[in-house]
Amino acid sequence: MAEQETLLQLKDVSVQYGGVRALDDVSVSIDEGEVVALMGPNGAGKSTILKAIFGLAPVSAGGIFWHEKAISPVPHEVVARGIAFVPQGRRVFANLSVYENLEIGGFTNHDSGITKERIKELFEMFPILGEKKNAASGTLSGGQQQMLAIARGLMTDPKVLLLDEPSLGLAPKIVKEMFSFIKDINTKRKTAILVVEHNIKSLLEIANRGYILDKGKVVFHGEPEKLVAEGTLEKIFTGK
């Protein structure tokens, strides 16, 4: 496989909230076209990595690099660079229609023609959203709301998609569909995806690489097969 360009890097990043060090000297990277998993127990710092990239967490040391240039993340500037963030909790505008939610996702496009074209593409990719385009988003099922939240993140045609717990609160059957949906985005749109997820088995089936965090530090980095073979996950989650 040809050498892929590194799109996004955290180098020796620390994040401090008050007296608590949420991230301690963490280095993470994502190359074009990759799915990268962030795993670890609750409070390990996984979501903080996504927030730091998006300018929502205070970086006290280290740096964040986009195409190998240092950036100081501010949310609207990060979006303009080509990074989209879908936080956990299926955040849709419940009273607005599916179509209107997607229009809001494309607010930075500055061209209604581009916005319409992107919505059309997304409806082709995810027909259920097209079928329900005029329905109030609050009437969708949990899985459909999560799909809409992710589709809205794709409205800016990002190079990197940050997903925080996309399967949270979904029924097991829907979880399988959600990961298939995420893999489709990666393969069909060539979008690089950085995913925080507690559903380790499903995530490792689609990930190219994974990082395991514990107490704000990266304790393992490598391919899924190696991670499973060495039993690293088990050791972290059982505290051994």
- The predicted-structure confidence for 39-61, as pLDDT tens digits, reads as follows 988 889 999 999 999 999 989 99
Chain CA centroid to CA 161, Å: 5
Question: What dotted CATH number matches 6-238?
Answer: 3.40.50.300
Contact 232, 219 (CB under 8 A): yes
The letter for the amino acid at 167 is: S
Least Cα distance to 28 among 203, 220, 214 occurs for 220
- Domain borders along the chain are 6-238
pLDDT higher than 90, residue 209: yes
- Token pair, residue 192, equals 């690089």
Q: 36 or 20, which is more confident?
A: 36
Model confidence at 169, pLDDT cuts 50, 70, 90, reads confident
> What pLDDT, on the 0 to 100 scale, is given for residue 1?
44
